[in-house]
Amino acid sequence: MLLEGKVAIVTGAGQGIGREYAFGLAREGAAVVVADIDEVHGKQVEADLREAGHQALFVRTDVSDEESTKELARQAAEAFGGIDVLVNNAAIYAGLPYESFEEMPVERFDRVMAVAVKGTWLCTRAVAPYMRLRGGGSIVNQGSTAAYHHTPRRMNYNVSKAAVHGMTKSLAKELGADGIRVNCIAPGAIDTEATVSTVPSEVLSRLADMQLVKRQGHVADMVGPLLFLASDQSAFVSGQVLVADGGVILNG
């Protein structure tokens, strides 16, 4: 197993890709901390992981709140003895409306940025001291090909993901000397409930046609890239954005 004895935090693990990430890490032997603002779904994932025989803990977390991220790191380290992997996956994605930059309420722009961008920073800042105690670690941020496609009427989301891609490189530079690698996954369209309920089906089929891999992307397709970046399989890789979109963006 790739992550035997390791402790991993996944933010936004209550549903969708984050839930799949939590199971992927657990199947490779990691104890998984499910961090989500949604208590009902987060607790369900904790129960499902335990039911499947894995070590799991749910910590209700708002990644945009500094105290909440500190408490997440504290509880994770207390429960499992340290932290080795952080997956910054939480974002405002489900239900995010398509709207022009002129219609977009300032509060919605702020919230999208606060969760994806500030949240990635704050979780990394809260967890880094614990990773240093272990002699290193791996941080995987969740970007998006929206940062390259510049999806029309989704300016807030596009720029938040472009910022996550950029932050990955800044954090990787600052944390490299501590043995902490920071990388990013940029998924294309993945058929989570959040995608299916917000992206019109004709847009999804058009995207699948543009892909080199001629089918819809599934949550399971994201687990391989995550395990590569989270584990020592990528020991010599840091500061990178791995595009996992079936082959649309060829120069990410």
Ligand X SMILES: NC(=O)c1ccc[n+]([C@@H]2O[C@H](COP(=O)([O-])OP(=O)(O)OC[C@H]3O[C@@H](n4cnc5c(N)ncnc54)[C@H](O)[C@@H]3O)[C@@H](O)[C@H]2O)c1
Q: How far is the CB of 174 from ligand X (least distance, A)?
A: 22
Distant-in-sequence, close-in-space partners of 211: CB < 8 Å, separation ≥ 6? 188, 245, 246, 247, 248
Chosen residue from 7, 8, 10, 15 binding ligand X by CB under 6 A: 15
Using CB under 6 A as the binding rule, whether residue 208 contacts ligand X is answered as no
Q: How far is the CB of 98 from ligand X (least distance, A)?
A: 14
Chosen residue from 28, 36, 46, 221 binding ligand X by CB under 6 A: 36
DSSP alpha helices (H): ranges in 143-237?
146-149, 155-175, 193-198, 201-210, 223-230
Q: Which is nearer to ligand X, 102 or 107 (CB)?
A: 107
How is the beta sheet containing 31-36 ordered, strand by strand?
56-60, 31-36, 7-11, 85-88, 137-142, 180-187, 241-244
Residues 46-65 that bind ligand X (CB under 6 A): 61-64
Kindly list the catalytic residues. Answer: 157
Per-residue binding string, ligand X, 106-145, x by CB under 6 A, is: ---------x--------------------------x-x-
Using Cβ positions, the residue closest to ligand X within the complex turns out to be 16
Say how far apart CA 131 and CA 120 lie, in whole Å.
Answer: 16
Using CB under 6 A as the binding rule, whether residue 248 contacts ligand X is answered as no
Judge whether 20 and 220 are in contact, CB under 8 Å. yes
Chosen residue from 89, 156, 168, 183 binding ligand X by CB under 6 A: 89
Distant-in-sequence, close-in-space partners of 67: CB < 8 Å, separation ≥ 6? none
Using CB under 6 A as the binding rule, whether residue 84 contacts ligand X is answered as no
Say how far apart CA 199 and CA 172 lie, in whole Å.
Answer: 33
